[in-house]
Amino acid sequence: MIKIYTLGGYEEVGKNMTAVEYNGEVVIVDMGIRLDRVLIHEDVEFQKMSSKDLRKLGAIPDDRPIRNKKVVAIALSHGHLDHIGAVGKLAPHYPDVPIYGTPYTIRLAKSEIKGEEYFEVTNPLYETNYGEIVQVSENLAIEFVQITHSIPQSSIVVIHTPEGAVVYACDYKFDNNHPYGERPDYKRLKELGKEGVKVLIAESTRVAEETKTPSEAVAKMLLEDFFLYEGMEADGLIATTFASHIARLQELIEIANKMGRQAIFIGRSLAKYTGIAKQLGLIKMKGSRVLRSPNAVSKVLKEVSQARENYLLIVTGHQGEPGAILTRMANGELYDIGPRDTVVFSAGVIPNPLNVAQRYALETKLRMKGVRMIKNLHVSGHASKEDHRYLIRMLNPEYIVPAHGEFRMLTHYAELAEEEGYMIGKEVFISRNGHVVEIPGSLEG
Ligand SMILES: [Zn+2]
């Protein structure tokens, strides 16, 4: 019998963790953190804290239901922190169990582990390519299927069991016009549907949106439409977006080059994500510059403020995070931001109350300084209702477990599943953190 342990991300957007058990053996998928629970305590030093204290804060999943099980592999779906941010804290509970993911994901996980100051992590990490099927025990194999999201090398994780496949689709969208050629592997997804999918575990964050999520090409067009028109007149230009959104950063570099400005990246997380992307050939940094040390930041920003028209600054702080570059600028540090500057938000506001409040404070401070603001030049990386419907139809799963969302999001997903002919409680299971969904055995048996 297959059991799905819904450990984290079933009551919130964040700290995703799921475990799939077959015949006493377990594959863990994702070990995420919930950043708002860390950020709300100003004195929290995440890297130095024990998993017990972080669990009490609600910042990382509670993995006690599987602690004594025979875990044979840990699979990471993609490199966002709400999927890999707790690896340094939780992988040590499963010493020496191998961790798998695509190359970009694994390198980001390694950088999380390197920063870990409380535990020693002994798990070997393996970079796995799309399409490779890794046998992790006699009965179980895992596979990473190429999919599009808002970070490079995202995957749909498949756990192959003798009773059929368990497919984990958190997070994804179907981008059919990605500007840099990333593509969903429709062929493989359809094959899986034919071979037989036992369970689909799918994200729910945007399932209530009655549309199909637009391609990243639309975000590129929104940015070009603003920056690259003949009447464009601006002095200082500052853009901010997700540091892990490599495609978006590439678009901004190209725009800066076309405008004859130099793109300058400022902020620690931007340096981290672009640095690893560059190692793997996932971003072309030509014409741009990355500032790493605090000294370089203050020196270069002094130069920039004397000749603003020559630069496009790309900075951290789109959610108003304390300590991020844009937040510090708005507080009057680093750079004399003011009426000569335009700030472009290439990101939406993440809908949790802490982000909403911090972003509100940031915008108010910028407005008080006379800064011009352009908001929402952005499209989401998450599947909307029609992406989800398409995935259900391609995979034709026997059972569905909605994941990655608050209760109302999971129920919205369940409603979609009912539209597609499934029944809540019989074939669709809404779970909570820490619970187990027992999947009925093979129907032919
Ligand atoms: Zn994600």
**Is 199 in contact with 159 (CB distance < 8 Å)?**
no
Closest CA to 77 of 235, 239, 203: 203
Could you give the dihedral angle defined by the CA atoms of residues 60, 66, 67 and 68, in that order, rounded to the nearest 10 degrees? 180
Residue 78 CA, ligand 1 centroid: distance in Å: 7
Strand order in the sheet with 99-101: 125-127, 99-101, 70-75, 25-29, 17-22, 2-8, 435-439
Q: Is 127 helix (H, G, I), strand (E, B) or coil?
A: strand
43: tokens are 């004195």
Distance CA 349, CA 358 (A): 10
Looking at residue 42, what is its pLDDT? Answer: 66
Q: Tell how strand 155-161 and strand 164-169 pair up.
A: antiparallel
Distance CA 194, CA 395 (A): 8
**Is 378 in contact with 219 (CB distance < 8 Å)?**
yes
Strand order in the sheet with 164-169: 133-135, 141-146, 155-161, 164-169, 197-203, 399-403
Q: How many CB atoms lie within 10 A of CB 85?
A: 27
**Is 419 in contact with 386 (CB distance < 8 Å)?**
no
Q: Tell how strand 155-161 and strand 141-146 pair up.
A: antiparallel
Residue 208 CA, ligand 1 centroid: distance in Å: 17
**Is 8 in contact with 62 (CB distance < 8 Å)?**
yes
Residue 336 CA, ligand 1 centroid: distance in Å: 34
Residue 80 CA, ligand 1 centroid: distance in Å: 5
Residue 244 CA, ligand 1 centroid: distance in Å: 10
Residue 307 CA, ligand 1 centroid: distance in Å: 37
Q: How many CB atoms lie within 10 A of CB 137?
A: 15
Model pTM score: 0.96
Averaged over successive runs of 10 residues, the pLDDT of the chain (445 residues) comes to 97 96 97 85 79 92 97 98 96 97 98 92 97 97 98 98 97 97 97 98 97 98 94 91 97 97 96 97 97 94 96 97 95 96 94 89 98 97 98 98 96 98 97 96 55
**Is 143 in contact with 160 (CB distance < 8 Å)?**
yes
Looking at residue 366, what is its pLDDT? Answer: 98
116: tokens are 């870990």
Q: How many CB atoms lie within 10 A of CB 114?
A: 11
Residue 225 CA, ligand 1 centroid: distance in Å: 27
Residue 79 CA, ligand 1 centroid: distance in Å: 7
**Is 273 in contact with 244 (CB distance < 8 Å)?**
yes
76: tokens are 């990471």
Domains of the chain in start order, with CATH, are 2-212+381-439 (3.60.15.10), 216-374 (3.40.50.10710)
Q: Where are the beta strands (DSSP E) in 80-188?
A: 99-101, 125-127, 133-135, 141-146, 155-161, 164-169
Closest CA to 215 of 240, 243, 180, 256: 180
**Is 308 in contact with 329 (CB distance < 8 Å)?**
no
The residues near 376 (Cβ < 8 Å, ≥ 6 apart) are 345, 348
Distance CA 88, CA 310 (A): 41
Residue 171 CA, ligand 1 centroid: distance in Å: 5
The residues near 17 (Cβ < 8 Å, ≥ 6 apart) are 7, 8, 9, 28, 29, 30, 31, 32, 61, 63, 86, 90
Residue 149 CA, ligand 1 centroid: distance in Å: 7
At which residue do the structure tokens 């475990």 appear?
Answer: 19
